[in-house]
Amino acid sequence: MAEQEGSGLQVLLHTLQNSSDKESILAILKVISDLLSVGTDRRIYYLISKGGSEALLQTLVDTARSASPDCDILLPLFRLLAKVGLRDKKFGQKALELEALDVTLILARKNLSHSQNLLHCLWLLRVFASSVTTGAMLGINGAMELLFKVISPYTRKHTVTIRAATEVLAALLKSKSNSRRAVNRGYVTSLLRLHQDWHSHDVANTYVLIRHGLLRCLRHIVSLRSGKEAFLAAQGMETLFSIAQTCLENKSLEPVVSAVIQILRQCYPESQLPLATPRSAYTFPAPSSSSSELPWGLSEEDFEDDGDEEMDKDSDVEAVKEDDDLETDLNKLSSKPGFDLSEEELAQYGAMCPELSYSVEEPEPKYEDDLNIKDTLYADHQHIPSASSLRQQCFCREHSSWGQEREDAAHPFILHKVKGGKSSIQPSSKQRLVTSANQSLQQNGLGMDSSGHDTSDIQASLEQADWDIDAISCPRITASFSNSTKPAESKEAAEMLLHTHPKNIPFHDPHLYMANARRTRSAVRFKMMAFPDLWGHCPPPTAQPMLDRKLGVQRIKILEDVQRLLQPHDIINKVAFSLDEPCPLQGPVSNCLRFYSKFESGNLRKAIQVREFEYDLLINADVNSSQHQQWFYFKVSGMWAAVPYRFNVINCEKPNSQFNYGMQPTLYSVKEALLGRPAWIRTGSEICYYKNHYRKNAATMDGASGKHYYTLTFAVTFPHNEDACYLAYHYPYTYSTLMTHLEMLERSIDPRQVYFRQDVLCQTLGGNPCPLVTITAFPESNNSEHLERFCCRPYQVITARVHPGESNASWVMKGTLEFLVSSDPVAKLLRETFVFKIIPMLNPDGVINGNHRCSLRGEDLNRQWLLPQAHLQPTIYHAKGLLHYLSSIGRGPVVFCDFHGHSQRKNVFLYGCSMKETLWQAGCTVGGSALLEDVGYRMLPKILDKLAPAFTMNSCSFLVEKSRASTARVVMWREMGVSRSYTMESSYCGCNQGPYQGLQFGTRELEEMGAMFCLGILILELKSVSCSHKLLARATTLLNADVLDHYLQR
């Protein structure tokens, strides 16, 4: 039957090509048209496969070359050719061979005064022009000159034909040769005039598509350098900017506005950043590597380019990983290269694991309260402390101090907070709280702190300017606010200030923080402390909703950039702050904000006042690098309340950000803190993130390609006049905060119940101790059976903050630590079952110096796990050494997890490692026996998906990429055989699923995730085949059996 149909169609096509009878030709054309008018495109492709395109084109040529071309035949023929040609990939080539291009152009020229005939010619020319080759040929043969005869100034006649002509011209100009020809013949000016004429006369917006077609023509031309130059010379920026201003509010003009914005962005003159050099303002004489070069390139995280189009909606579709990055070499996936350490070197790590050979002794007395520890000017990065030195640095506390923080630190029973239970965010919060940042700041009312205590005295003194806010807001590390303008009263002011410090901030003490800050070593020797880190943070009682993105905000900001270029009369362009040059002194009365960032974790390199209430900000690159500008943290003061200030961070690097999808930066007000409301809150309006006109110079960018920078722009309305506020990319968590937290934790525990040991893993390149924490429970008694069980507890290893800018990882870690030492029965059971080895900050130097990603050597430490060197990457070298030691004695961790933050996705999720899933995703065919793999690596994320409100299994991935071969997760899996080796990613933004859907993460939710992770580890053990009946019985006794039963279903 198919053969009969095929032969029938071929007979029709053969007859069409050879017939000269008009009636026969029309009848065949009607039959073909009827066949193609119903059904799917398969009929068209079938026609093409039987030579339909050639038959129709030959008929066109024969008819056109006849003595008097018959329009009755040509018009249906044109319609059929336009329909078939769109599906035929070789249509242009066939038309060239049969000389159909010339014929169609000749017919178009002959029919310039016959609108209907001309329209049919244009339909076919549009199909021809869709091929670059045939389009270029049409350009050579004068097609553009013909089209400009058709595209007239504004008229109400023949508009359908004019629209078709603009579409053909736009298609032709995709060819660079045609665009160059258009520039040389002055068509740029002609197109601008035509568009301006249609725009000014089309007041009813009836002919938007014609206007859009003309703009498409311009867009193709300005993709060439010569086209941009011609466009700028013709004052195209001014013309289109003026047009855009009148179209923004009209939704029916969306195509026009979109095209105008794209052209303006493309033609905005590129420039270099207003910096002497893109390299960091901070340097550090780090030891050099014996290998070739440092890996400077950008790394990690999916790069989703926003292109030229505006992104007004959050699709929340996860980026698809590139399959060509997947590791497909089975030998590399399964090999276990060893760490090159001798037995003697490995044995040194035994000093960090005294619990392996523990004999019960009374806890040693804690060190003196003044916390004076001898400073080490030059660290020995290869030194592993001896057992005796560890005992001296292990901060064991007196029995009498263990209860001091217990009341404040009490954790709610964690099983009440799982997804099926009572979360800390009530269901009503899903209705999206519509409180602004200022309302959040002032939710308790002036005169009352967060606990309801009267603060009217402090409020009155603040209003009377009795407090030197600038001095208070960034005190010196060395003493009591000696930078005060009233030195004689500085000590009294400091005592008065600290006396007002609220006592309801768990595990924080400003005096202790100050002592730790004095010992912290930075590359530039910071002398000041940030007030939020000194004073502490109390999370708001409710999470804040994601910011609803204002429609068209990105276009507005791009047009403001263009306005700054075209109308610079109101531009101040005054440097308000710079790390590279001394800033001019500002008098007491100034209309310029004051900026400062030279404190721990601070990052702001330069602030330029653009207009009275607008500032361009530049982030400092990572130390000894020219890249990784994302993290910012700085103080701003001297503001007016209720005035929106705009900040433009103009040298961001990532091509996309959650700032486009509801995320806000964070703000801390000093005056609010002094009034009893010390909190980091989300703030900012009219936020967007987009590609700007600043371009990287490859010659000065460590070899990085010359791509564009991106702008993060947001407006902030401050709550108080003459306040001092801190703005940050995310909730800051400094190294000194960590050290203070660890010491406060240790003071809070009952040493008879909780084994808490803080060791020094090693000294960093900057001379800072990297803490190693061990948490477990003391043995039940001194008898040998209990001691043996104690020594045989399995290990769980958790690390965090290898990337300094991922401060959310530290808040998750804070929740983990506080939960593990808490009185929660789950925590008690965890301590009795496992030994937790925790490295809460793998990159202290990066955190201290305000880096986003790197160490003091300008390298990503999470790309150094394969072959770390003690003198170059000491924290990674010794962390790997410790893990290798545990593995070598058969005590490798059950779970290894490295806490991270993610800037381009929502929720919390895990990355794991699976050979089978990787090979399957890459499409590799491997024998079944080679793909045998324990699927237990999926168990923990599945458990967390049930437990944790912020966690989602849907975002988890277990693929092993080549680019991740030297990360902690992959190295632990490959070299040490830890099947449950993970990276846990927490969004900087918030959740788009579960109980927290539509909410941004606060520190409370991040800390909760840390506790949930611990609960997940316990459920994992209880679900395992090897779980003892005794542990299961104890779990049932300690915990709610009904709740447990739901999570223990195998």
**How far out from the chain centre does Cα 1027 lie?**
40
Pairwise CA distance, residues 316 & 313, whole Å = 9
More confident residue, 322 or 774: 774
Specify the 3-state DSSP secondary structure of 35. Answer: helix
Query: Of 396-400, 421-425, 691-695, which gets the smallest average pLDDT?
Result: 396-400
Pairwise CA distance, residues 547 & 295, whole Å = 37
pLDDT at 609: 96
More confident residue, 388 or 241: 241
CA 206 vs CA 123, 158, 185, 666, 728: distances in Å: 22, 13, 30, 46, 48
pLDDT at 478: 67
Is residue 150 scored above 70 in pLDDT? Answer: yes
pLDDT at 308: 42
Please name the residue ranges forming H helices in 912-1024: 915-921, 939-947, 968-976, 1003-1023
Tokens 């590609």 map to which residue? 691
The conformation of residue 963, written as its DSSP 8-state character, comes to: G
Question: 611's torsion region: left (phi>0), alpha (psi -120 to 50) or beta?
Answer: beta
Residues with Cβ within 8 Å of residue 397, at least 6 apart in sequence:
363, 366, 746, 747, 749, 751
Is residue 369 scored above 50 in pLDDT? Answer: no
pLDDT band at 136 (very low <50, low <70, confident <90, very high): very high
For the chain, how far is it from start to end, CA to CA, in angstroms?
Answer: 57
Specify the 3-state DSSP secondary structure of 743. Answer: helix
Per-residue pLDDT tens for 218-240? 999 999 999 999 999 999 999 99
- Catalytic status, residue 985: yes
The conformation of residue 351, written as its DSSP 8-state character, comes to: G
Is residue 245 within 8 A of residue 294, CB to CB? The reply is no
Is residue 1012 within 8 A of residue 927, CB to CB? The reply is no
pLDDT band at 587 (very low <50, low <70, confident <90, very high): low
Q: Dihedral (C-alpha) 1005, 1008, 1009, 1011: value to the nearest 10 degrees?
A: 170
Pairwise CA distance, residues 809 & 733, whole Å = 9
pLDDT band at 292 (very low <50, low <70, confident <90, very high): very low
More confident residue, 918 or 146: 146
Tokens 């999916």 map to which residue? 302
Question: In terms of Cα–Cα distance, which of 822, 1015, 1004, 750 is closest to 409?
Answer: 822
Please name the residue ranges forming H helices in 639-783: 670-674, 735-748
**Exposed (0-12), middle (13-18) or buried (19+): which is 1045, by Cβ within 10 Å?**
exposed
Per-residue pLDDT tens for 479-531? 544 344 444 444 555 566 777 766 678 889 998 999 999 999 999 889 899 99
Is residue 298 scored above 50 in pLDDT? Answer: no
Residues with Cβ within 8 Å of residue 31, at least 6 apart in sequence:
12
Helix axes 1003-1023, 825-833, angle to 10 degrees: 50
Residues with Cβ within 8 Å of residue 973, at least 6 apart in sequence:
913, 960, 979, 981
Bridge partners, residue 690, by sequence: 711
Question: 280's torsion region: left (phi>0), alpha (psi -120 to 50) or beta?
Answer: beta
In this prediction the pTM is 0.86
Is residue 314 scored above 50 in pLDDT? Answer: no
Average pLDDT (690-709) is: 74
Residues with Cβ within 8 Å of residue 944, at least 6 apart in sequence:
908, 910, 951, 953, 1012, 1013, 1016
Please name the residue ranges forming H helices in 890-962: 915-921, 939-947
**Exposed (0-12), middle (13-18) or buried (19+): which is 1049, by Cβ within 10 Å?**
exposed
Per-residue pLDDT tens for 270-284? 999 999 999 999 999
CB burial string 1007-1018: b at 16+ within 10 A, e below = bbbbbbbbbbbb
Residues with Cβ within 8 Å of residue 80, at least 6 apart in sequence:
29, 32, 33, 36, 56
Is residue 217 within 8 A of residue 173, CB to CB? The reply is yes
More confident residue, 396 or 834: 834
pLDDT band at 258 (very low <50, low <70, confident <90, very high): very high
Pairwise CA distance, residues 580 & 343, whole Å = 49
Per-residue pLDDT tens for 429-451? 333 333 344 444 443 333 445 55
Neighbours of 6 (CB within 10 A): 13
More confident residue, 480 or 830: 830
pLDDT at 356: 86
Handedness of CA 399, 401, 407, 410 (dihedral sign): negative
pLDDT at 796: 97
Cα Rg, the chain, nearest whole Å? 35
The conformation of residue 368, written as its DSSP 8-state character, comes to: P
Per-residue pLDDT tens for 875-916? 999 999 999 999 989 999 999 999 999 999 999 999 999 988
Question: In terms of Cα–Cα distance, which of 568, 387, 558, 520 is closest to 845?
Answer: 520
pLDDT at 403: 41
pLDDT at 853: 95
Pairwise CA distance, residues 876 & 79, whole Å = 69
Average pLDDT (644-671) is: 96
CA 205 vs CA 209, 212, 255, 865: distances in Å: 9, 11, 12, 62
**Exposed (0-12), middle (13-18) or buried (19+): which is 749, by Cβ within 10 Å?**
buried
Q: Dihedral (C-alpha) 989, 993, 996, 1000: value to the nearest 10 degrees?
A: 10
pLDDT at 1025: 77
SS (H, E, C) 390-417: HHHHCCCCCHHHCCCCHHHHCCCCHHHH
pLDDT at 338: 64
Average pLDDT, the chain: 83
More confident residue, 960 or 838: 838
- Which phi and psi (to 5°) does residue 945 adopt? -65, -30
CA 255 vs CA 211, 277, 757: distances in Å: 9, 40, 64
Is residue 167 within 8 A of residue 173, CB to CB? The reply is no
Active-site entry in 985, 1005, 1008, 1021: 985
Average pLDDT (368-379) is: 38
Sheet strand arrangement including 795-800: 754-763, 769-777, 835-839, 795-800, 895-902, 981-987, 908-911
Percentage of the chain lying above the pLDDT 70 cut: 79
Specify the 3-state DSSP secondary structure of 531. Answer: helix
695: part of which helix (H) or strand (E)? Answer: strand 685-695
Is residue 967 within 8 A of residue 883, CB to CB? The reply is no
Pairwise CA distance, residues 844 & 849, whole Å = 9
Is residue 850 within 8 A of residue 856, CB to CB? The reply is no
Q: Say how many residues make up the chain.
A: 1050
**How far out from the chain centre does Cα 721 lie?**
33
Per-residue pLDDT tens for 794-829? 999 999 999 999 999 999 999 999 999 999 989 999
